[in-house]
Amino acid sequence: MSTTKGTFRAAMLARSLTRRRSRVVIAVLAVAIGAATMFSLSTIAIDIPKHLALDIRSVGANLLVSPSETDTMSQQVVADVTAALPDGSVVARAGFRFETVRINQQPFIAAGTDMADAQSVKGYWSVDGDWPEHPGEVLLGTEVAEWVGLRVGDPLTLSYDDETLRLRLTGIADTGGNEDALVVLSMDDLETLTGSGAVVHLAEFSVALDATTLEAVAAAITAQVPYATAAVVQRLARSEADVLAMLRSLLSIISVVVLALTMIGVSTTMAAVVSERRTEIGLRKALGAGDAEVVAEFMGEALVLGALGGLLGVGTGYLLAQYVSQQVFARPVAFTPWLAAATFAAALLTTWGAGLLPVRKAATIDPAIVLREE
Amino acid sequence: MTDTTIVAMTEVTKAYGELRALDAVSLTVAAGEWVAIVGPSGSGKTTLMNIVGCLDRPTDGTVLLGGVDVTRCAAAELTQVRREQVGLVFQRFHLIPHLNALENVMVAQYYHSLPDEAEAMAALTKVGLAGRAHHLPSQLSGGEQQRVCIARALINDPALVLADEPTGNLDAANAQAVMRLFRELHEQGTTLMVVTHDPKVAALSEREIVLDHGRIEREEFHVQS
């Protein structure tokens, strides 16, 4: 019974792959190693900077909003500016009201705020003790605590005009800067002490956007929120952008180098595979195969090797990315389907390109020369 | 050339610069004839075989194979003539190592027309290897591999079976078995051209053409027993 040419061709391909296992394994591994390295580096290059950007945001606010017309703004400014920022970009935010208070007749600047918000935007503060969680609790900067000679757990009294407020010191903050001279208490406690309404003097935002976008957003906020002016903390935004850009560039360069090395490795492997089968190519031609037929048969095999190597590479590359990310950055990476498809396509293309030259060269050999015995 | 002439070479020359591997050789091979081409190394017998087998072209002269002037054929036409008219048997067998015996025979069918497992099995049966059809070349003896080669050469019913030192890589016993097979094929009407340096193999043929320095030195005729 006749078999179709396509069926027999598929059978020959299957035999070649299953009965030349050691050669196939070597070729597939050559592709897989390149694909795995490329996929893992690309995954890290895409995913990690996003996480790092969020981490970097913990070093402080990069967008400051202050009143444009009067001295104060409504507390609503925090919500209004948050709404004006791109969805998901706000990592932390807090509004602050500043008043001069006295401890033991000494004047200090008190900052009234929402404690949970402040804790997120001031993540770089090192607090001995705890952030205040309840009304009647206060956090002092190290300078203030030293000046008044208080320790965590001590009571203190704040005075404002003729009013006083008794509080308990829950924590002492080492901020590394001017904020060491602050007295930090809840907005409600400050309102109780001062007897006046809900206002803020400054709103701080930690926003996960690149420097250029942040500048544009700040300008838009200034235009959209009539009572406020938004300003980017330039030094912070530029440094952050530079660090992330350097990381992306480094990973991109490494990926390109890996791709080039993969091409060389796969080319060498394919050239060796084809060279080993020169006699077979000569025989097929002697039996009546045309040059194009020989090229098609061998390139078909190359594509299968590329596909197997690509699949193995993507799978292994993802595991490698997870391992490296956990070890270096202490966080997982997400699986990016389009990147997996692109890596698989690159593996196919690389194998096809690497195999084409040696196969085309081999297909033009004179079978009489290859098969000659003398 | 008669209707029963399979090969007709007229003043065929193959030159490599000053060197003439074949020098104005003329010969014919009739249908059903068994011709041996003999000569020492460098005598031109492989060159002659390659030209008759459409693996090479002469520098001068004409070659008619099955009535087709192969000296005028383009490369693709030459391949087609070789596919349809010639069955090749090599000294080193040249079986594809990852295909079993049956598949090796079917490869020749694949490039000719359509692979047919039953026909391929019949060819292997003819050479006494039906029981080894699914063995890889590495699992076959030298003699068995050569018989697979012969089955491959016969599968497309070629006008001519061209064998290059078919017993060169075989021990005496296997060589005898292969030559017995050739005798059977000859008795069945197969046209054979065997290139050999072995006088015992040459003596089994009907006609022995002795080459030396690219020329026909003499022809000898043998009585078939």
pLDDT value at B225 more than 60: no
Whether A227 contacts A70, CB under 8 Å: yes
Q: Are strands A126-129 and A137-141 parallel, antiparallel or unpaired?
A: unpaired
- A287 contacts chain B (CB < 8 A): yes
Which CATH code fits B5-221?
A: 3.40.50.300
Sheet holding B215-221, edge to edge: B86-89, B160-164, B192-196, B34-38, B207-212, B215-221
Alpha-carbon distance of A203 to B60, in angstroms, equals 97
Phi-psi region of B8 (alpha: psi -120 to 50; beta: other; left: phi over 0): beta
Interface test with B, best of A3, A12, A277, A287 (most B CBs within 10 A): A287
Tell if the CB–CB gap between A288 and B108 is shorter than 8 Å: yes
3-state secondary structure of B162: strand
User: Does B142 lie at the interface with A, CB-CB under 8 angstroms?
Assistant: no
Predicted TM-score (pTM) above 0.90: no
The three-state secondary structure class of B118 is helix
Q: Does A276 touch chain B (CB under 8 A)?
A: no
A14 interfacial to chain B (CB closer than 8 Å): no
DSSP state of B119: H
Contact list, A283 vs chain B (CB under 8 Å): 94, 96
Read off the pLDDT band of B40 (50, 70, 90). Answer: confident
Query: What confidence tier does B1 reach under pLDDT thresholds 50, 70, 90?
Result: very low
- Kindly list the residues from chain B whose CB atom is less than 8 angstroms away from the CB atom of residue A284: 107, 111
Nearest CA in chain A to B99: A15
B180 reaches A (C-beta below 8 A):
no
For residues B45 and B51, give the distance between their C-alpha atoms in angstroms, rounded to a whole number: 10
Rounded mean pLDDT of B39-50?
89
Per residue of chain A (374 residues), give pLDDT as tens.
Answer: 566 888 999 999 899 888 888 888 988 998 999 899 889 988 888 887 777 766 766 678 889 999 987 888 888 889 989 988 888 888 899 999 999 999 999 999 999 999 999 999 998 899 999 999 999 999 999 999 999 999 999 999 999 999 999 999 999 999 988 899 999 999 999 999 998 878 999 999 998 887 888 889 999 988 888 888 999 887 666 677 677 778 778 887 887 888 788 778 888 888 888 888 888 998 999 998 888 888 888 889 889 999 999 999 999 999 999 998 889 878 888 899 999 999 999 899 888 888 888 888 888 888 887 776 53
ipTM of the complex: 0.90
DSSP secondary-structure letter at B165? S
Compute the mean pLDDT over every residue in chain B, rounded to the nearest whole number: 91
**Amino acid A374: pLDDT:** 37
Q: Which of A1, A20, A288 sits opposite B82 (nearest CB)?
A: A288
B170-203 pLDDT per residue, tens: 888 888 889 999 999 999 889 999 999 888 899 9
Work out whether the CA dihedral A256, A257, A262, A263 comes out positive or negative: positive
For the cut 60, the answer to whether the pLDDT of residue B71 exceeds it is yes
Domain ranges for chain B? 5-221
